[in-house]
């Protein structure tokens, strides 16, 4: 017991300084600070910003260009009339502001398809964010349960150490009084040291699990938390219909929308075979002054406009190649959706079977721990009065500690499998 207390001393000394952390608080921290969720959130915001009519090509482009030029030169002109112009400081100015408008009137329906695609991409960004949130919440629950499980394992080791210490004390007393053999005392001491060795491994595992939980929550410091002693489990889940599973599962929704984007890309590729009609227009103002020359002042202004028709005649087969590649991508995404649909059914069946087994194991271990505790009490009482042997007491201790470890492991496995089922059903985050 003293050795275990030395191992756990740093944890117990800092217990008052440790922050209390419930499962819901851990999930809230993950949702707020997890780096993967924050990255997915930014990607979703980018997709939402891109979903505009202007980005799809509906809106015209209006550009304002303006230039102002001034020159000074030493000018000499011999005119046809015989006159001569000499101006060592000839000045010339030009002002030319222009407003230009470019507007695609018809592009084979590409702009309408682009707007639908941008909407699909925005939906995909939101689904990817939800998927990331669901995944991180699932991992947080599982890691929180793992930390609690490691804490429980330390409790089991602490119990084993206490039992071994009691048996060691009784064996020593019997040996010193001549009522027992020295080998019983030696065996008890060996068992006690073995339990101390086990505690080192469990402390290391607990530290690693706590670090992993801190990483999920986005902590950038080596921080220790005080977690709950137990975690709530649900032993009464019921499976849902497979058709509803496809509708609820986020992975299936993502693949479905990816397939729809591929179909839109295929349609967009076909629009390049069609003519393109665009309008270019503007309003131009031009003013020029010269201090020397035939024209000393000129000015012009007014609107301009043109319609431009572009018809693809020959592109070296690139348009057909692009259309074919887009068609193949559509087929590929459809196959990926069908494959995931088949895989999801098997995955859900396996997850549900594992959950059912975990529930049965948990119920069984709850029953077994009562028998193991009663057997331990009986054997310990028999050993104290000299009726029971060291071997019987040692076996009872081992059985009880093993039953404790199995119970804690069964509780952890139940929570993990419960979480995996709810993750597949998209029930972790509402």
Q: What confidence tens digit (pLDDT) does each residue in 77-132 have? A: 766 677 777 777 778 898 999 999 999 999 999 999 999 999 999 999 999 999 99
Q: Higher confidence at residue 232 or residue 177?
A: 232
Quick one: DSSP state of residue 298?
A: E
Whole-structure pTM value = 0.79
Residue 244 C-alpha from the chain's centroid: 24
The two structure tokens encoding residue 346: 């098997």
- Please say if the pLDDT value at position 223 is more than 90: no
Quick one: DSSP state of residue 190?
A: H
Residue 72 pLDDT grade (very low, low, confident, very high; cuts 50, 70, 90): confident
What does the DSSP assignment read for 212-279?
HHHHHTT--S---EEE-S-----S---PPPHHHHHHH-HHHHHHHHHHHHHHHHHHHHHHTTS-EEEE
Contact 4, 156 (CB under 8 A): no
Contact 203, 189 (CB under 8 A): no
Q: Higher confidence at residue 207 or residue 413?
A: 413
The two structure tokens encoding residue 100: 């230009």
CATH assignment, 2-62+108-274+316-424: 1.20.1600.10
User: From CA 132, how far away is CA 137, in angstroms rounded?
Assistant: 8
Share of the chain above pLDDT 90, in %: 53
- Read off the pLDDT of each residue in 35-60 and give the average, rounded to a whole number: 94
Give the orientation angle of helix 318-384 with respect to helix 250-271, to 10 degrees: 170
Q: In 3D, which of 134, 210, 22, 139 has the Cα closest to residue 416?
A: 139
Contact 256, 78 (CB under 8 A): no
- Read off the pLDDT of each residue in 346-368 and give the average, rounded to a whole number: 94
Give the orientation angle of helix 110-177 with respect to helix 250-271, to 10 degrees: 160
Phi, psi angle pair for 283, to nearest 5°:
-135, 125
Burial (Cβ within 10 Å: 0-12, 13-18, ≥19) of residue 67: exposed
Write down the pLDDT at residue 314.
87
Residue 411 pLDDT grade (very low, low, confident, very high; cuts 50, 70, 90): very high
Contact 93, 73 (CB under 8 A): no
Other C-beta atoms closer than 10 Å to the C-beta of 132 total: 20
CA torsion 306-312-314-318 (nearest 10°) is 130
Q: Are strands 225-227 and 19-21 parallel, antiparallel or unpaired?
A: parallel
Residue whose entry in the numeric block shows the structure tokens 């682009």: 114
Quick one: DSSP state of residue 351?
A: H
Least trusted range by pLDDT, from 150-159, 276-285, 359-368? 150-159
Q: How far apart are the first and last CA of the chain?
A: 46
User: From CA 271, how far away is CA 76, in angstroms rounded?
Assistant: 60
């Amino acid at each position: 017991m003293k050795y275990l207390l030395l191992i756990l001393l740093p944890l117990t000394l800092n217990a008052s300084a440790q922050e209390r952390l419930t499962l819901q608080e851990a999930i809230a921290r993950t949702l707020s600070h997890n780096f993967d969720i924050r990255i997915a959130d930014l990607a979703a915001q980018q997709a939402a910003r891109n979903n505009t009519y202007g980005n799809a090509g509906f809106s015209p482009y209006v550009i304002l260009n303006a230039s102002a030029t001034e020159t000074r030169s030493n000018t000499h002109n011999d005119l046809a009339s015989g006159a001569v112009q000499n101006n060592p400081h000839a000045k010339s100015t030009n002002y030319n502001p222009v407003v230009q408008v470019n507007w695609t009137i018809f592009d084979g329906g590409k702009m309408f398809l682009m707007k639908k695609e941008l909407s699909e991409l925005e939906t995909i960004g939101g689904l990817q964010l939800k998927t990331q949130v669901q995944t991180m919440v699932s991992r947080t629950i599982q890691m929180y349960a793992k930390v609690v499980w490691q804490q429980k394992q330390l409790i089991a080791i602490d119990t084993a150490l206490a039992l071994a210490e009691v048996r060691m004390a009784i064996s020593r007393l019997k040996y010193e009084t001549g009522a027992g053999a020295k080998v019983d005392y030696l065996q008890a001491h060996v068992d006690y040291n073995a339990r101390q060795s086990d505690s080192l491994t469990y402390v290391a595992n607990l530290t690693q699990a706590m670090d992993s939980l801190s990483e999920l929550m986005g902590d950038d410091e080596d921080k220790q938390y005080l977690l709950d002693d137990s975690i709530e489990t649900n032993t009464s889940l019921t499976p849902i219909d497979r058709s509803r599973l496809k509708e609820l599962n986020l992975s299936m929704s993502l693949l479905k929308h990816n397939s729809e984007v591929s179909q839109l890309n295929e349609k967009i590729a076909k629009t390049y075979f069609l003519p393109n009609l665009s309008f270019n227009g503007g309003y131009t103002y031009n003013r020029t002054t010269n201090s020397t020359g035939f024209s000393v002042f000129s000015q012009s202004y007014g609107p301009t406009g043109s319609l431009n028709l572009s018809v693809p005649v020959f592109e070296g087969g690139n348009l057909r190649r692009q259309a074919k590649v887009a068609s193949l991508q559509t087929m590929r995404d459809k196959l990926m959706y069908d494959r995931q649909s088949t895989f999801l059914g098997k995955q859900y069946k396996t997850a549900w079977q594992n959950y059912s087994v975990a529930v049965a194991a948990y119920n069984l271990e709850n029953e077994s721990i009562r028998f193991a505790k009663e057997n331990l009490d009986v054997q310990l009482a028999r050993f104290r009065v000299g009726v029971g042997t060291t071997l019987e007491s040692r076996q009872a201790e081992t059985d009880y500690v093993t039953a404790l470890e199995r119970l804690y492991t069964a509780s952890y496995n139940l929570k993990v499998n419960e979480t995996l089922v709810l993750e597949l059903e998209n029930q972790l985050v509402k």
